[in-house]
Amino acid sequence: MGSHFKSDIRAVFENDPAARSVFEVVFTYSGLHAIWAHRIAHALFRKRWFTLARMIAQVSRFFTGIEIHPGARIGSRLFIDHGMGVVIGETCEIGDDVVIYQGVTLGGTGKEKGKRHPTIGNNVVIASGAKVLGSFRVGDNCNIGANSVVLRPVPDGSTVVGIPGRIVKTNGQRVGDRLDHTKLPDPIIEMFRTMQREIDALKAELERTRRAAESADGRQPVGYGGEKGQ
Ligand SMILES: CC(C)(COP(=O)(O)OP(=O)(O)OC[C@H]1O[C@@H](n2cnc3c(N)ncnc32)[C@H](O)[C@@H]1OP(=O)(O)O)[C@@H](O)C(=O)NCCC(=O)NCCS
């Protein structure tokens, strides 16, 4: 517990340039208070003291605005910045060195039973307002963009943004570049291609009609353009 206590404080200094002194951090960072309360609640939960564990979680929620279910498994050096409105579900698992901002939900979709909350890898940043919903894994070294809604597994090293969340970067490389000028569509070429497709379709239709008419007359079919058929 003592080593956790120190590394939790160190995580604040590593992630928040506004942190000034250990005294200030210990007494004013509600993210820290929520994590410490959770460590006690989780220990009780593991000993099957479920109601007492929930009571501690509720008191912590009242003072910090951060709701962590006592069953959630949290790694080392989690940093919850600002914190208000954070919800972490019962079957959620969080790795080491994770940063979570205000308004983040690590929740279920409301349909599953059993393991129904996400597993977050190591060294992940989950930006303000992001929702990660469902029982899947967010890989190591990922960034989840502010206000995104993530509903599917996220591979290691990805940046996910938007609703529903889509991967825009993998290991620092942009995915599906939206402004690749070599791949911009050419409307004139497209128009010619469309016309060519229509001409081919009309020729084929004309040929079918001509053959049908000739076989109805009992004549020898001739090729398109008047030449003799084989
Ligand atoms: C996602 C985030 C962590 C940055 O990750 P990153 O890997 O450095 O990604 P980039 O900044 O290079 O952005 C990649 C692309 O996603 C877009 N993007 C980034 N964040 C986005 C978001 N929240 N919503 C929509 N698009 C976003 C960028 O515009 C960029 O698009 P482009 O390729 O068309 O230019 C960051 O943008 C973010 O959301 N930070 C918020 C932190 C926060 O919550 N702060 C609150 C403190 S109180």
- Kindly report, residue by residue over 88-110, the tens digit of the pLDDT: 999 999 999 999 999 999 999 98
**CA distance linking residue 95 with residue 122, whole number of Å:** 5
Collapsing DSSP states into helix, strand and coil, what is residue 99?
A: strand
The answer to whether the pTM exceeds 0.75 is yes
Average pLDDT for the chain: 90
Residue 149 alpha carbon to ligand 1 centre in Å: 13
Q: Which atom of ligand 1 is nearest to the CA of 82?
A: 48
Give the chain's length: 230
For ligand 1, atom 30, name the residue with the nearest CA: 168
Continuous H helices in the chain? 2-15, 22-28, 30-46, 50-64, 187-217
Q: What pLDDT, on a 0 to 100 scale, did the predictor assign at position 230?
A: 43
Summarised one tens digit per residue, pLDDT across range 33-49 is 999 999 999 999 999 99
Nearest alpha-carbon partner for 166 in 187, 136, 185, 143: 143
